[in-house]
A and B are shown apart, each in its own frame.
Chain A
Amino acid sequence: MSLVEVSDLSISFGDVRAVDGLSFSLEAGGALGVVGESGSGKSASAYALLGLHRGTGAKVGGSIQVAGVDVTAADDAELRALRGAKAAMVFQDPLSSLDPYYAVGDQIAEVYRVHHRGSRRAARARAVEVLDRVGIPDAVRRSRSRPHEFSGGMRQRALIAMALACEPQLLIADEPTTALDVTVQAQILDLLHDLRRETGMGLLLVTHDVGVAAESVDEVLVMQSGRAVERGPVGEVLVAPREPYTRALLAAVPRVTEQRISSGAKPAGDGEVLVEADGVRQVFGRGKSAQAAVDGVSLTVRRGETLGIVGESGSGKTTLGRMLVGLLEPTSGRLTRDARVQMVFQDPVSSLNPRRSIGESVADPLRASGERDEAVIRTRVRDLLTRVGLAPESYDRYPHEFSGGQRQRVGIARALAAEPELIVCDEAVSALDVTTQAQVTALLAELQRELGLALVFIAHDLAVVRQVSDRVAVMRRGRIVEEGGVDEVYGNPRDPYTKQLLAAVPALDPALATVRRAARKELAAA
């Protein structure tokens, strides 16, 4: 019998049908990736495997068999016996997924004791054992730490340790690396890979990131609006997709190995200088707790060009962006700005006021610059909305009526309203699905070509940065470790950190992924 057997699964939240007639199975020891964009129903399906929709008001139909348990028919006690013992789940955000009040080791021991008789001491010993297995250094001591004392990667390791505690037959991982930096993501994926080989447990990996799936599973299931679109061996589906949706999805995925979508002829390095930073520093905190978020960065941005800034979380890229716009004054160093600069923010939801119509939001910079004539403002805003691909009638509508990609267009329109010469995009497409991401980056490139804009494109995603940038600067711990033409830096990185970053990016081709996994191990060993 299969480890997982799902047939005709449907899940509804009120009137919304999140999953509709989904069927799939997973053999013992197999690895299946469930891939889809947000709202495709992939996470809801994963939750259903452990009966986690029970008591939430969601309606679940169809049949689900997991490790010999009929999940839809099982009573609460049978379900509890399944959860954690036969099938364990790893969640997306490892910080909020652990209890802040208890030591990590105690939390794992608690889970162990739910499913095993035995002393507290034995459970604690098991916790240390699994923490050690997932690569927590000095596991005895660190098992007494609370989650906030762990780094993001260690927290995810701890959560995986919790999953391992009872030696389950199935590991369900729901976006396990989405909240992590790319180098940490690679470590976690490698860990999952090794654990699977070692324990023979099955893996169901839910992810929006095709590359993550390519790295980790044997088979993929592509989902769209609650239905399965295509299913097959990872090598076939990702290399030669049959369905149009899969093809479109794969085409939208930015590739770190590929050239940029050219935005037209560019004055290479001879445009006039708009912003120049010379040894700028930004220090937060005082005295002993003082930390330099940006520590001596020098760069120039010229008219019409795109400078990409990549770095992992905490590298200081956002702080640098805020200084370039003038939201922050550098603690020291010289920053000259000879241009109108605007910013587009990461989160299109929280950076728009939900109580004001989007037209009003876009009109803000116009009013701020002294425009008083309502008719002029209205016409100008309608033009701007059209310019970013929204209907001019959107003026009177409110942010919640728009999708994430549309809201980001509103954010761009608002930035354009002030007629900037330079726009700083801080993770402007990070919160978007790949297809939307591709549309928004295309819009930015088009605007740049038509308006002669300069862009500073800040992102953690190396592939996206490669798509849009002329030049790229790699940041680490407040400093720029490498800067140069985009092809030069990506094609022939000189700095070891850049090499490490590039090696960590998941490859879309499973065959290539295997090669790169080996390369990472070599790099780590060296």
Chain B
Amino acid sequence: MKWFLLRRLGGAVFVLLALSVVVYAAFYVAPGDVAQIACGPRCSPAQVAQVSEQLHLGDPLYLQYAHFLQGLFAGHDYSTGTGVLHCQAPCLGLSYQSDQQVTELILAKLPATASLALGAFVLWMLLGVGTGLLSVWRRGRLTERVLTWITLAGMATPVFVIGLLLIIILVTALQILPFPDYVPLTEDPEQWAWNLLLPWISLALVSAAPYARMTRASMLETLAEDHVRTFRAYGVGERALVGRHALRGALAPVIALGALDIGSMFGGAVLTESLFGIPGVGRELVDAVKHVDLPVVVGLVLVTGFFVVLANAVADILQAMADRRVVLA
């Protein structure tokens, strides 16, 4: 188990490093004149040259990347003309737009996104797995067909449609929920949850559908396995068969999918954030892409990558704890 953990975490670190190389290359190297973009359209050639100097853009590529890595692990000092700005590790550079540190910028937006993602994740897992199990339980009957249609509809409906519908019904017509106005958890937990409820429900409704379908398919497959038949042949009741002998195996792919989704959701649920005015990472990303603010884009991609890799590693480790054979593979 110890070796498995080390191997798994080592793999995660390697993936992140590889990701940083690819992202760095794709954004910094490929198109346009980076110095010109960083400086702004109204810069004189002299100013552009100065910026280029400051960003080490004249250096060979590997040195630039080394600088970038150095910033990540050891921090960086930037001259601001009048003094020195220290950017602490992990330093992702400075935003071209605001000259703010990218790390701080992202950290400021992350709590809102994390709140949205985690809450919605819990809801959609419950909803998706629950629906999937229910349709297995009632297979061949009307309930299953209705559930299949609902999940299909959920898959096919964009979040802004469902979100708008919910706003019209729950906020405008019935006035049960407030229109979301993000309140940080640290300020007022009750208001935090109350205001996020609507975004959570919207996001969960659209995200739950694939989970429901996957749970159903995977559960049916597991129920047909030999070891489930064994316990059925020994008088174990259906509920125990599902709960004890089938669920564990059936949930493995569901958890793996969940890890991917929750991880990438940390990179911002752009549509949901925009619709409900949540000041999260997703809106920051849209903004940065619009203004070709490369350090922010790179930073956000890396942060997203970090969470995807982290969530996957956690899922794998959970899987290994549930099924020891994974460790041997």
| A-B complex is real | yes
- State whether A148 touches B227 (Cβ < 8 A): no
Q: Smallest distance from the beta carbon of A85 to chain B beta carbons, Å? A: 6
Q: Smallest distance from the beta carbon of A174 to chain B beta carbons, Å? A: 10
Interface-side segment among B14-22, B96-104, B154-162, B231-239:
B231-239
- State whether A99 touches B236 (Cβ < 8 A): no
B226 within 8 A of A: yes
A298 to B232, CA, bound (A): 50
A486 within 8 A of B: no
Q: A91-B226, A93-B226, A101-B323 are in contact. Are A52 and B232 (CB under 8 A)?
A: yes
A111 within 8 A of B: yes
Interface string of B218-245 (1 = CB under 8 A from A): 0000000111011111111100000011
A52 to B228, CA, bound (A): 12
- State whether A111 touches B227 (Cβ < 8 A): no
Chain A minimum-CB-distance residue to B224: A56
Q: Which residues of B contact A115 (CB under 8 A)?
A: 235
- Contact size class for A? 20 to 34
8 A Cβ contacts from B236-260 to A: 236-237, 244-245, 248-249
8 A Cβ contacts from B273-329 to A: 322-325, 328
Chain B minimum-CB-distance residue to A50: B233
- State whether B235 touches A99 (Cβ < 8 A): no
Chain A minimum-CB-distance residue to B324: A146
Q: A101-B322, A148-B325 are in contact. Are A96 and B233 (CB under 8 A)?
A: no
Q: A99-B245, A101-B249, A146-B324 are in contact. Are A83 and B235 (CB under 8 A)?
A: yes
Q: A146-B324, A148-B325 are in contact. Are A100 and B235 (CB under 8 A)?
A: no
A358 to B234, CA, bound (A): 44
- State whether B231 touches A111 (Cβ < 8 A): yes
A475 within 8 A of B: no
A351 within 8 A of B: no
- Contact size class for B? 20 to 34
Q: A100-B323, A148-B325 are in contact. Are A83 and B234 (CB under 8 A)?
A: yes
- State whether A96 touches B232 (Cβ < 8 A): no
- State whether B235 touches A82 (Cβ < 8 A): yes
Q: Smallest distance from the beta carbon of A468 to chain B beta carbons, Å? A: 34
A97 within 8 A of B: yes
Q: A99-B245, A101-B249, A101-B322 are in contact. Are A52 and B234 (CB under 8 A)?
A: no
8 A Cβ contacts from A62-118 to B: 79-85, 88-89, 91, 93, 96-101, 107, 110-111, 114-115
A377 within 8 A of B: no
- State whether A88 touches B234 (Cβ < 8 A): yes
A162 within 8 A of B: yes
Q: Which residues of B contact A91 (CB under 8 A)?
A: 226, 229-230, 233
| Chain A CB within 10 Å, residue with most, of B233, B323, B324 | B233
- State whether A81 touches B231 (Cβ < 8 A): no
A90 to B90, CA, bound (A): 60
- State whether A111 touches B236 (Cβ < 8 A): yes
Q: Which residues of B contact A148 (CB under 8 A)?
A: 324-325, 328
Q: Smallest distance from the beta carbon of A161 to chain B beta carbons, Å? A: 12
- State whether B235 touches A96 (Cβ < 8 A): no
CB < 8 Å: which of A84, A96, A146 contacts B234? A84
Q: Main SS of chain B's interface residues?
A: helix
Q: A96-B225, A101-B322 are in contact. Are A114 and B230 (CB under 8 A)?
A: no
Q: Which residues of A contact B234 (CB under 8 A)?
A: 83-84, 88-89, 111, 114, 162
CB < 8 Å: which of A50, A81, A83, A97 contacts B226? A97
Chain A minimum-CB-distance residue to B226: A96
Chain B minimum-CB-distance residue to A174: B233
Chain A minimum-CB-distance residue to B232: A52
Q: Smallest distance from the beta carbon of A152 to chain B beta carbons, Å? A: 14
Q: Which residues of B contact A80 (CB under 8 A)?
A: 235-237
Q: Smallest distance from the beta carbon of B131 to chain A beta carbons, Å? A: 22
A111 to B244, CA, bound (A): 12
Q: Which residues of B contact A50 (CB under 8 A)?
A: 233
Chain A minimum-CB-distance residue to B248: A101
A111 to B249, CA, bound (A): 20
- State whether A98 touches B227 (Cβ < 8 A): yes
Q: Which residues of B contact A79 (CB under 8 A)?
A: 235
- State whether A52 touches B233 (Cβ < 8 A): yes
A83 to B43, CA, bound (A): 84
A100 to B230, CA, bound (A): 12
- State whether B235 touches A85 (Cβ < 8 A): yes
A81 to B234, CA, bound (A): 9
A468 to B237, CA, bound (A): 51
Q: Smallest distance from the beta carbon of A90 to chain B beta carbons, Å? A: 9
- State whether B231 touches A99 (Cβ < 8 A): yes
A98 to B325, CA, bound (A): 14
Chain B minimum-CB-distance residue to A146: B324
Q: Smallest distance from the beta carbon of A168 to chain B beta carbons, Å? A: 10
Q: Which residues of A contact B248 (CB under 8 A)?
A: 101
8 A Cβ contacts from A100-155 to B: 100-101, 107, 110-111, 114-115, 146, 148
- State whether A114 touches B245 (Cβ < 8 A): no
Q: Which residues of A contact B324 (CB under 8 A)?
A: 146, 148
Q: Smallest distance from the beta carbon of B126 to chain A beta carbons, Å? A: 22
Q: Smallest distance from the beta carbon of A211 to chain B beta carbons, Å? A: 25
Q: Which residues of A contact B233 (CB under 8 A)?
A: 50, 52, 83-84, 88-89, 91
A50 to B234, CA, bound (A): 9
Q: Smallest distance from the beta carbon of B141 to chain A beta carbons, Å? A: 13
A307 to B285, CA, bound (A): 70
A526 to B323, CA, bound (A): 41
Q: Smallest distance from the beta carbon of A88 to chain B beta carbons, Å? A: 7
Q: A101-B248, A101-B249 are in contact. Are A96 and B227 (CB under 8 A)?
A: yes
Q: Smallest distance from the beta carbon of A285 to chain B beta carbons, Å? A: 13
Q: Smallest distance from the beta carbon of A418 to chain B beta carbons, Å? A: 37
A466 to B237, CA, bound (A): 49
Chain B minimum-CB-distance residue to A148: B325
A115 to B236, CA, bound (A): 9
| Chain B CB within 10 Å, residue with most, of A79, A83, A85 | A83
8 A Cβ contacts from A298-325 to B: none
Q: Smallest distance from the beta carbon of B245 to chain A beta carbons, Å? A: 5
- State whether B229 touches A97 (Cβ < 8 A): yes
- State whether B322 touches A114 (Cβ < 8 A): no
A110 to B245, CA, bound (A): 11
A83 to B241, CA, bound (A): 14
Q: Smallest distance from the beta carbon of B326 to chain A beta carbons, Å? A: 10
Q: A80-B237, A146-B324 are in contact. Are A100 and B232 (CB under 8 A)?
A: no
Q: A100-B323, A110-B236, A115-B235 are in contact. Are A52 and B229 (CB under 8 A)?
A: yes
Q: Smallest distance from the beta carbon of A204 to chain B beta carbons, Å? A: 13
- State whether B227 touches A99 (Cβ < 8 A): yes
CB < 8 Å: which of A52, A84, A85, A100 contacts B325? A100
The 5 closest A-B pairs by CB, nearest first: A84-B234, A83-B235, A96-B226, A80-B235, A84-B235
Add 6 more A-B contacts to A83-B234, A100-B323 (CB < 8 A): A80-B236, A89-B233, A97-B227, A99-B231, A148-B324, A148-B328
Q: Can you sample 17 A-B contacts with CB below 8 Å?
A: A79-B235, A83-B233, A83-B235, A84-B236, A89-B230, A89-B233, A91-B229, A96-B226, A97-B226, A99-B230, A99-B231, A99-B245, A100-B227, A110-B231, A111-B235, A146-B325, A148-B324
